[in-house]
Amino acid sequence: MTRTAAALVAVLVATTACSGPAPADDWQVVWREDFTGAEGSPPSGDWIVDTGTAYPGGAPHWGTGEIQTHTADPSNVALDGRGNLVITPRRDAAGAWTSGRVETKRSDFKAPEGGALRIEGRVRMPEGTGDAALGYWSAFWALGAPHRGDYWNWPEVGEVDVMENVNGVDQVWGALHCGVEVGGPCDEPDGLGGSAPCPGSPCLGEFHTYAFEWDRGTTPNELRWYVDGQRYHSVDEARVGAGPWAAMTSHAGYFVLLNVSIGGGFPNGVARRDTPTAATTPDRPMVVDHVSVSTRARR
């Protein structure tokens, strides 16, 4: 989720031209969250609700320059009683922003040897475009397990952005972060990213299914990004290199995160200005219907 440089603007206007079939039927669901529960209640015990502006001892502003404080208040993060998780950025009378961020307790989501991993979620991005959306940064992503307890090993341990959206731009971004903090095989801090419009209806304010696959059954191994079953981005081991690839794939696995941030490197880079502004409108939620993790055995 850490992208800061002007190269992001190039991603904005250059949609990655990838195509491919929808995933096959031979996936086994190993974990799923449907966000059932009473309205106003927190997500299930399978989740950690992050609070504050950093991990303990970690980089300030979650390492991205975002300005909000994450809370566990139901006004920021809660179930809606209809099978959804709702994450809502809010602004108080003094102009301070709060929002919500959750991550799975499990951190062992990993492709089996010779097989594949699929992380999928049905998500409705926040509504709003133009000045009213400046600074909004919604994300569905995953971090390498070693990041827990050592909050300074990014991006070596790997980060996968399954779905990101900023500033109410009507498209989805997906990216890989790896290697070293500046430059390196993943061109940090921007990462190796692609983007696409959502098929059939706007990304903003509509539910779409976003997915990421890590395939260890191909040569070279490959990562793939999808929206509604349509592949729009991929990165393989040959592009990254054996060493950085091993560093992000040889550990215990990944944990999944969902959040809405306000401001920071990515929205600022796309907007070419600091965000949010006085025109940014609060109370526009990201809504998550479900998240699932599946694996596929060696073929």
Report the pLDDT value the prediction gives residue 3, as an integer from 0 to 100: 57
- Asked if residue 289 is part of any domain, the answer here is no
Report the pLDDT value the prediction gives residue 2, as an integer from 0 to 100: 61
Report the pLDDT value the prediction gives residue 24, as an integer from 0 to 100: 53
Report the pLDDT value the prediction gives residue 5, as an integer from 0 to 100: 43
How many domains is the chain built from? 1
User: Can you give the pTM of this predicted structure?
Assistant: 0.93
Asked if the bond preceding 282 is cis, omega within 30° of 0, the reply is: no
CATH code for the domain in which residue 252 is found: 2.60.120.200
- Asked if residue 295 is part of any domain, the answer here is no
Is the distance from CB of 198 to CB of 211 less than 8 angstroms? no
- Asked if residue 210 is part of any domain, the answer here is yes
Unique residue bearing structure tokens 């880079």: 269
- Asked if residue 136 is part of any domain, the answer here is yes
- Asked if residue 193 is part of any domain, the answer here is yes
User: Which residues fall within 8 angstroms of residue 213, CB to CB, at 6 or more apart?
Assistant: 23, 116, 117, 118, 222, 223, 224, 226
Write out the residue range of the structural domain in which residue 156 sits.
7-19+27-283
Report the pLDDT value the prediction gives residue 299, as an integer from 0 to 100: 86
Report the pLDDT value the prediction gives residue 243, as an integer from 0 to 100: 98
- Asked if residue 96 is part of any domain, the answer here is yes
Three-state SS for 238?
A: helix
- Asked if residue 298 is part of any domain, the answer here is no
Task: For 204-247, give the DSSP string.
Answer: BTSEEEEEEEEESSSSS-EEEEEETTEEEEEEEHHHH-HHHHHH
Sites in the chain below the pLDDT cut of 50: 5-7, 9-23
| Segment 175-225, tens digit of pLDDT | 999 999 999 999 999 999 999 999 999 999 999 999 999 999 999 999 999
Report the pLDDT value the prediction gives residue 257, as an integer from 0 to 100: 99
Report the pLDDT value the prediction gives residue 20, as an integer from 0 to 100: 43
- Asked if residue 291 is part of any domain, the answer here is no
Q: Give the tokens for residue 269.
A: 């880079």
